[in-house]
């Protein structure tokens, strides 16, 4: 595991003594949390600190990664221009993250920098880190207006890129909590502010950070929170990893929530590998083709599908993102095993939405195999169930298919509309429907 720890820290400028002018003593538990986190980083001696900040460059539909070799900043905006710092960026890791995002058609990269100066969401935590450890390079990443799940997926991409280079890194998620916890606070008082802090800190203390994606977006807006998406990216970087959490402090002295915590990996609880014989067959086929440019031959047909013919889909994911999916509605090969082998090859080399999978990506792929039952005609949407049935829509030579139980497809109407859109069937064109079930192998 090359991401050694996750760190949650706030970024109040007054935590810097030259800015606080003595007021920093009023948030001493938070200051103590900064110091404990900084000492932990010094003990781990990471090559790189990966830092997410709500105050770095932010776009509605894109994650900005700071480009270049270095950057500088100071606290002049907070009446302390004498406090300055410079950082060296880990441009190799930045390029690896950007390259992986591009392959996955994920909206993250270095374009669109508006201001290269370091923001206070970056500088406040590093002010304390630099007192104990300076032998690191930095990766600085902003947030976006995209969904929580998308922020989580970015964390997975970061981890995969980091591991591909063998970096020993620490993930530092910068962010305050709710800004509306006192009448004299920056946004006054809202009950949602107090509720958010209590709920957020309970999740962080429990260590199951995937729960951060379950928060309601409207609730987050009402709570006037700052760092939730920053924490969620960090959560994605530890997807499938059991974490031991240490919460050092939580307070809202000035009406803004500040939480500090350290999260140390214990062991991996999920595995990319599978004992399922159909997944193994698809995986062997993909490795043979990507490594040697050959279609797998002389394989042993799994007992559970001997003598069978059926349609099959092979889906490939990387860092939680779709990387390729190709399948057949009805069997076109002599055996189901051959159907799987050929569709696996097509999924990593012929899906027009993606570039071909490379050798470097093979260790990070997650492969699913769906075996389709024979489609049956239906006369209305009432005979569909998005969890149980996939749908096939047909209009003349146009045909579109959507598998069942897909993330983000919650209603039958959505399911049919997506299938029609895939087929290029217009709103006023007549169409027929069929349904089918799948046996999913993961």
Bridge-based pairing of strands 48-53 and 63-64 is unpaired
**CATH class, range 277-441:** alpha beta
Give the whole-angstrom CA distance, residue 1 versus residue 299.
Answer: 33
Q: Enumerate the H helices of 45-180 as residue ranges.
A: 91-103, 120-132, 148-165
CA distance linking residue 355 with residue 367, whole number of Å: 17
pLDDT of residue 186: 86
3-268 and 277-441 in the same fold: no
**Residues 262-296: pLDDT tens digits?**
999 986 544 455 789 999 999 999 999 999 999 99
Domain spanning 3-268 has what CATH number?
A: 3.40.830.10
Long-range contact set of residues 419-423: C-beta below 8 Å, sequence gap at least 24: 419/391, 419/392, 419/393, 420/393, 423/393, 423/394, 423/395, 423/398, 423/399
H or E, element range at 171: strand 169-174
pLDDT of residue 269: 44
Rg (Cα) of the chain, in Å, rounded? 25
Q: Are 311 and 328 in contact (CB under 8 A)?
A: yes
CA distance 308 to 13: 66
For range 113-135, the mean pLDDT: 97
Cα 203 → chain centroid: 18
Name the residue among 52, 89, 51, 47 with its Cα closest to residue 70: 89
Q: How far apart are the first and last CA of the chain?
A: 23
Give the C-alpha separation, 403 to 368, whole Å.
12
- The DSSP 8-state label assigned to residue 274 in this structure reads -
Q: Which backbone phi and psi does 410 adopt, to 5 degrees?
A: -110, -15
SS3 68: coil
Beta pairing class for 312-318 and 376-378: unpaired
Distance from C-alpha of 81 to C-alpha of 305, rounded to nearest angstrom: 71
**Predicted TM-score of the model (pTM):** 0.81
364 falls in which pLDDT band (50, 70, 90)? confident
Report the alpha-carbon distance of residue 242 to residue 220 in Å, rounded. 26
The percent helix, strand, coil of the chain (3-state, each to 5) is 40, 25, 35
Q: What is the mean pLDDT of the chain?
A: 95
- DSSP code of residue 415: H
pLDDT tens track for 206-238: 999 999 999 999 999 999 999 999 999 999 999
Question: 31-80 pLDDT, tens per residue?
Answer: 999 999 999 999 999 999 999 999 999 999 999 999 999 999 999 999 99
Q: Taking Cα atoms as reference points, which of 212, 206, 197, 252 lies closest to residue 52? A: 212
Neighbours of 331 (CB within 10 A): 17
How many Cα atoms occupy the beta-carbon half-sphere of 75 within 13 Å?
24
Can you give the residue ranges of every domain in the chain? 3-268, 277-441
Count Cβ neighbours within 10 Å for each residue of 35-67 and write b for 16 or more, e otherwise.
Answer: ebbbebbbeeebbbbbbbbbbbbbbeebbbbbb
Identify the band that residue 2 occupies on the pLDDT scale cut at 50, 70 and 90. confident
Query: Are 39 and 204 within 8 A, CB to CB?
Result: no
Instruction: Say whether pLDDT at 17 is over 80.
Output: yes
């Amino acid at each position: 595991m090359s991401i050694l720890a996750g760190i949650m820290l706030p970024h109040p400028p007054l935590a810097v003594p030259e800015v606080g002018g003595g007021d920093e003593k009023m948030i001493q538990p938070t200051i103590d949390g900064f110091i404990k986190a900084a000492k932990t980083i010094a003990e781990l001696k990471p090559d790189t600190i990966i830092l997410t900040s709500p105050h770095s460059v932010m776009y509605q539909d894109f994650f900005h990664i700071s480009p270049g070799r270095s950057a500088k900043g100071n606290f002049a905006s907070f009446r302390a221009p004498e406090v300055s710092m410079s950082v060296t960026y880990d441009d190799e890791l930045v390029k690896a993250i950007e390259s992986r995002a591009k392959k996955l058609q994920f909206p993250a990269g270095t374009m669109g920098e508006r201001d290269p100066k370091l923001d206070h969401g970056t500088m406040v935590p590093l002010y304390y880190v630099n007192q104990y450890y300076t032998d690191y390079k930095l990766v600085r990443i902003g947030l976006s207006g995209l969904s929580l799940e998308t922020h989580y997926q970015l964390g997975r991409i970061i981890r995969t890129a980091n591991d591909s280079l063998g970096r020993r890194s620490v993930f530092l998620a910068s962010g305050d909590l709710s800004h509306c916890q006192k009448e004299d606070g920056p946004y006054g008082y809202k009950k949602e502010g107090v509720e958010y802090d209590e709920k957020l800190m309970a999740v962080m203390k429990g260590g199951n950070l995937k729960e951060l994606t379950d928060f309601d977006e409207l609730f987050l807006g009402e709570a006037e929170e700052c760092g939730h998406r920053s924490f969620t990216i960090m959560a994605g970087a530890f997807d499938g990893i059991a974490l031991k959490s240490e919460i050092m402090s939580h307070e809202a002295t000035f009406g803004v929530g500040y939480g500090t915590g350290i999260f140390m990996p214990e062991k991996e609880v999920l595995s990319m590998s599978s004992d399922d014989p159909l997944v193994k067959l698809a995986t062997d086929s993909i490795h043979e083709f990507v490594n040697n440019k050959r279609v797998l031959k002389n394989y042993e047909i799994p007992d559970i599908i001997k003598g069978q013919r059926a349609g099959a889909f092979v889906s490939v994911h990387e860092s939680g993102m779709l990387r390729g999916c190709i399948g057949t509605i009805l069997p076109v090969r002599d055996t189901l095993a051959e159907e799987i082998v050929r569709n696996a090859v097509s999924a990593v080399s012929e899906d027009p939405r993606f570039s071909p999978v490379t050798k470097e990506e093979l260790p990070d792929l997650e492969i699913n195999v769906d075996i389709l039952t024979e489609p049956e005609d239906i006369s209305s949407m009432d005979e569909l169930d998005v969890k149980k049935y996939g749908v096939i829509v047909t209009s003349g030579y146009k045909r579109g298919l959507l598998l069942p139980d897909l993330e983000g497809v919650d209603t039958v109407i959505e399911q049919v509309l997506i299938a029609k859109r895939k087929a290029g069937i217009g709103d006023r064109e007549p169409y027929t429907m069929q349904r089918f079930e799948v046996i999913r192998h993961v």
